[in-house]
Amino acid sequence: MAQNASAKRGLLLVISGPSGVGKTTITHEVERRLGGVFSVSVTTRPKTHADVEGRDYFFLSQDEFERRRDAGDLLECATVFGRYSYGTPRQPVTEHLAAGRLVILEIDVQGGLQVKSRMPETFMIFVLPPSDEELLRRLRGRGRDSEEAIQRRFLEAKREIEVARSSGKYDAFIVNDDLKHAIDLASELVEKRRNAESLKR
C-alpha cells in the first residue's frame, strides 16, 4: 500500500548551483513532480513590476531584514554583490516540515551551508554544468549581461563549485547535460531520501 503524504516525514531539500546551470527549472519540476513546497525568500531588493509579493519574494526594508536576522528568524541570509540582502524565513519551513511536507530551497552555496549547519538532516543537491565552456555559452546566451558581468558570474560560478565540492556537505552532484535526465535523477534521489527518512519513524 502506498504511503500518503501525511504519513511521510517532512524533508528539507536544498538545490544549489551557479548562474546559468538550469537549477531553477530543475527545482520547479522537482516541486511539481513530488508535491513539494517552494520556500519563498525575503529580500531587500526593490520590487519590480514583474514580481508578485509572496510568490517571488517577500519584500522588506533593510531595517526589518536586519531585525529578523538578529532575532534568529532566518535560516540563512546573504548579501549579493554587496547590494541587496536575501534570506529564508525559518517559521514557514519548520511548519511545513512538521506537517510532513517536502520543502525546497533554491539558494546559493553560502546559504546552503548555513542551512545545513542549523538543520543537519537537510538533503543537499548541487547542479553542475557539463563543462566550463558550456557554462560560459549559457551565460552569454541569456543575453542579459555585459561581457564584463558574464566573466564575473563565470568566476563566481567556478568559486561556488569549488566551495560546494570541498565542503563535503552536499549529498549529490548532478551534471545538467540533459535537462530531462537531470530532473529525473534529482527527483529519484529526493524520493529515495524521503522514503528512507519515513522508515525511521
Domain limits, the chain: 5-198
Q: Is the pLDDT of residue 76 over 80?
A: yes
Is the domain defined by 5-198 classed in CATH 3.30.70.1450?
no
Higher pLDDT, 100 or 79: 100
For the segment 90-96, the average pLDDT, to the nearest whole number, is: 95
Q: What is the pLDDT of residue 142?
A: 79
Place of cell 548579501: 79
pTM of the model: 0.87
Indicate the pLDDT class of residue 7, thresholds 50, 70 and 90.
low
What pLDDT, in 10s, does the model give residues 10-57?
A: 999 999 999 889 999 999 999 999 999 999 999 999 999 999 998 889
CB burial string 165-201: b at 16+ within 10 A, e below: eeeebbeeebebeeeeebbebbbebbeebbeeeeeee
Per-residue pLDDT, averaged over 83-103, amounts to 94
Summarize pLDDT for 145-187 with one digit per residue, the tens: 889 989 998 999 999 999 999 999 999 999 999 999 999 999 9
Residue 1: pLDDT band (50, 70, 90) is: very low
The yes-or-no verdict on residue 6 having pLDDT over 60 is no
Residue 88 has pLDDT above 80, yes or no: yes
